Chain A
Amino acid sequence: MLKIFISMEWGYFWYKVSAPYIENPLLAYSLFFLLFISVSFFYYLYLAKNRKIDNIYIRKIPALNSIDEAIGRSTEMGKPILYIPGIMDIDNIQTLASLSILSYVSYKCAEYETDFIMPVSRSVVMTVAQEVVKESYLRAGRSDLYRNDMVFYLTDDQFGYAAGVDGIISREKPGAIFLIGAFYAESLILAETGFSAGAIQIAGTAMITQLPFFIAACDYVLIGEELFAASAYLSKDILDKITLKNQDITKALVMVSVAIGAMINTIYSIYPNIANIPFINLLHKIFQGLLIK
């Protein structure tokens, strides 16, 4: 492709670039959507950096407000904190979101001098989490309390991990358990064991199928996108918080698209003659392209 570009065979170059879009028109919609999110992302960043927006209103998220309470309760009871970042690898966005909450939780544990236990299921997550926790203890000025085996690897196997964590809960009897990240079927096993140990449980996942189990068994739950908003919520930096506005505006775009598209396709299916109006015809063609063939 570089040779085609350098040789200035522009016609052939643009043909090659546009071929995937002709074959799969949905790609064009994805591109538009991504461009919209990116432009609004940079726009809000610009507003935040130039102090045009100093603060934004974020509704209360009880699960995040209760983190301090949970850690405080554990400290008073002399029990450790257990943090479980899910069972997926570092490439999963929920694990990364969990690590941003881990930073806050481990900072608070360092401040309150509470014992911290973090079994992990993936070795790369272990390495990254060790760095995050060490950094948090350093920031809190309590690097003397940090030990490398606070964060340790158990097993990649889903139920082997669940068995290991259940054993840790039964032996260590933590005062608070954080179940934040991507979970599968083992979520209920972990949550129920934590409930039977009498710990305060704060869970958070974007796995839709596991949410009901966490809601049934845990005290506080971060549902879906609240997990991704957590780092912005806990941060004092406006640069982190402003991305929530970006999320909202994108959701507004999706809602408007769904409403208009549903209306247009419904009207067209009842009154096909409405396609004679050029504007309606254009809208219909645009939203028709979004239907999966």
Chain B
Amino acid sequence: MIIIELFKKITRRTIFLTVAIFLTIGAIFSDVYWIKKINLEMLRKSITPASKQAYDFIESLPPNSVVLVSGDYGPSTRVEADPILENFLKQSFRKNFKVIAISLWPDGAQIVATKTRQVASQYNKQEDVDYVIGGYVVGAAVAIEKMGVDLKDAVPLLNKSPAPFLKNIKTAHDLNLVFCIAAGDTLQYYIRILKSRYGVNVSGGCTAVMAAEMYPYILSKQLIGLFGGLKGAADYEILESNPEPDQVSEAVKYMLTQSLIHALIIIFIIIANIVFIYDRLKYGKKR
């Protein structure tokens, strides 16, 4: 059959080119109003339970709660992680939480500091009064263990901050919530060390690849909900901001592109299986 012969000619280059075309179409059309509207409506109806659980828990914390946000990601995963961080900061400042912003990744420290100051200025929050920038914390798992014993020793910049809310904070146990946005292992370290040993509430976000790995922790209540990948970021934006189609940020917009690519992958899988089954029927198993 001609069409099967055409399918057999698909190479890696064809796949790459098609993906590039679909990405371009997604990027162009993601700004069209009616597409944004349909996209938003669909996302509103499919908010994941894990995202809802995390959002509801943060919402239930009382005002003046002290929360630690750990932005452990780099520029490569900014598209997925930045919206989660931004929406968490918006929710925290709206609820008048006191925020300690750190990063266990050296290139994440810059991003976290800039984003915290940017969001804080929208809510008229002052540095060293309502929030503290802890900067880059050296040591990953070792630093998290130290947080359980002495938070200010683990995050040295806290010692230099005159923030009044830090006076009562000695260890991680004194925090109401630790929110970790991770592109690596750090969320698991927070769960294994701070939650298991010290009983600290841990929630967070992660890249889409890691989201599947975190479900055992959610189900055993060691992790309070999770914002997984771009979908989680879009869920968080909808829950926090409830935007109109012309107010959506990149997380919701880019879900259109992600939808197109996922659909394209399914099409390729179908094509590959059509060719495979056709060959199996025509030539038998030996070929």
Q: Tell me if chain B binds chain A.
A: yes
A interface residue count range (under 10 / 10 to 19 / 20 to 34 / 35 or more): 10 to 19
Let me know if A26 and B196 touch, CB within 8 A.
Answer: yes
Let me know if B212 and A209 touch, CB within 8 A.
Answer: yes
Let me know if A196 and B12 touch, CB within 8 A.
Answer: yes
Tell whether A159 is near chain B: CB-to-CB under 8 Å.
Answer: yes
Q: Which of B107, B184, B222 contacts A292 (CB 8 A)?
A: B222
- Write out, one digit per residue, whether chain B residues 146-177 have a CB within 8 A of any chain A CB (1) or not (0): 00000000000000000000000000000000
Let me know if A184 and B184 touch, CB within 8 A.
Answer: yes
A residues near B183, Cβ cutoff 8 Å: 184-185
CA distance in complex: A27, B196 (Å) = 9
Let me know if A209 and B221 touch, CB within 8 A.
Answer: no
CA distance in complex: A24, B210 (Å) = 29
Q: Which of A26, A185, A292 contacts B221 (CB 8 A)?
A: A292
Q: Which residues 177-213 of B have a CB within 8 angstroms of A?
A: 183-184, 196-197, 199, 207, 209-210, 212-213
Output the least CB separation between B104 and chain A (Å).
13
Tell whether A158 pairs with B74 under 8 Å between CB atoms, given A208-B213, A292-B220, A292-B222. yes
Tell whether A185 pairs with B207 under 8 Å between CB atoms, given A24-B197, A196-B12. yes
B residues near A196, Cβ cutoff 8 Å: 12
Output the least CB separation between A241 and chain B (Å).
30
Q: Which of B76, B196, B207 contacts A159 (CB 8 A)?
A: B76
Let me know if B209 and A185 touch, CB within 8 A.
Answer: yes
Let me know if B76 and A158 touch, CB within 8 A.
Answer: yes
B residues near A24, Cβ cutoff 8 Å: 197, 199
Output the least CB separation between B261 and chain A (Å).
15
- Write out, one digit per residue, whether chain B residues 209-228 have a CB within 8 A of any chain A CB (1) or not (0): 11011000000111000000
A residues near B196, Cβ cutoff 8 Å: 26
Output the least CB separation between B283 and chain A (Å).
24
Let me know if B199 and A209 touch, CB within 8 A.
Answer: no
Q: Which of A157, A185, A209, A292 contacts B213 (CB 8 A)?
A: A209
Chain A residue with Cβ nearest B75:
A159
Chain A residue with Cβ nearest B142:
A91
CA distance in complex: A163, B76 (Å) = 13
Output the least CB separation between B239 and chain A (Å).
25
A residues near B213, Cβ cutoff 8 Å: 208-209
Tell whether A209 pairs with B209 under 8 Å between CB atoms, given A158-B74, A292-B221, A292-B222. yes
- Write out, one digit per residue, whether chain A residues 14-32 have a CB within 8 A of any chain B CB (1) or not (0): 0000000000101100000
A residues near B74, Cβ cutoff 8 Å: 157-158
Q: Which residues 138-187 of A have a CB within 8 angstroms of B?
A: 157-159, 184-185
CA distance in complex: A210, B196 (Å) = 25
CA distance in complex: A91, B213 (Å) = 21
Q: Which residues 259-289 of A have a CB within 8 angstroms of B?
A: none
Output the least CB separation between B10 and chain A (Å).
15
Chain A residue with Cβ nearest B217:
A292
CA distance in complex: A9, B76 (Å) = 57
Chain A residue with Cβ nearest B141:
A91
Output the least CB separation between A56 and chain B (Å).
31
- Write out, one digit per residue, whether chain A residues 99-115 have a CB within 8 A of any chain B CB (1) or not (0): 00000000000000000
CA distance in complex: A184, B185 (Å) = 9
- Write out, one digit per residue, whether chain A residues 58-95 have a CB within 8 A of any chain B CB (1) or not (0): 00000000000000000000000000000000010000
B residues near A158, Cβ cutoff 8 Å: 74, 76
A residues near B207, Cβ cutoff 8 Å: 185
B residues near A209, Cβ cutoff 8 Å: 209-210, 212-213
Q: Which 4 A-B pairs have the closest CB atoms?
A: A292-B221, A209-B209, A209-B213, A208-B213
Q: Which residues of A contact B (CB under 8 A)?
A: 24, 26-27, 91, 157-159, 184-185, 196, 208-210, 292
Q: Which residues of B contact A (CB under 8 A)?
A: 12, 74, 76-77, 107, 141, 183-184, 196-197, 199, 207, 209-210, 212-213, 220-222
Q: List 22 A-B contacts (CB under 8 A).
A: A24-B197, A26-B196, A27-B197, A157-B107, A158-B74, A158-B76, A159-B76, A184-B183, A184-B184, A184-B209, A185-B76, A185-B183, A185-B207, A185-B209, A196-B12, A208-B212, A208-B213, A209-B209, A209-B212, A209-B213, A210-B209, A292-B220
Beyond A24-B197, A26-B196, A208-B213, 19 extra complex contacts between A and B, CB < 8 Å: A157-B107, A158-B74, A158-B76, A159-B76, A184-B184, A184-B209, A185-B76, A185-B77, A185-B183, A185-B209, A196-B12, A208-B212, A209-B209, A209-B212, A209-B213, A210-B209, A292-B220, A292-B221, A292-B222
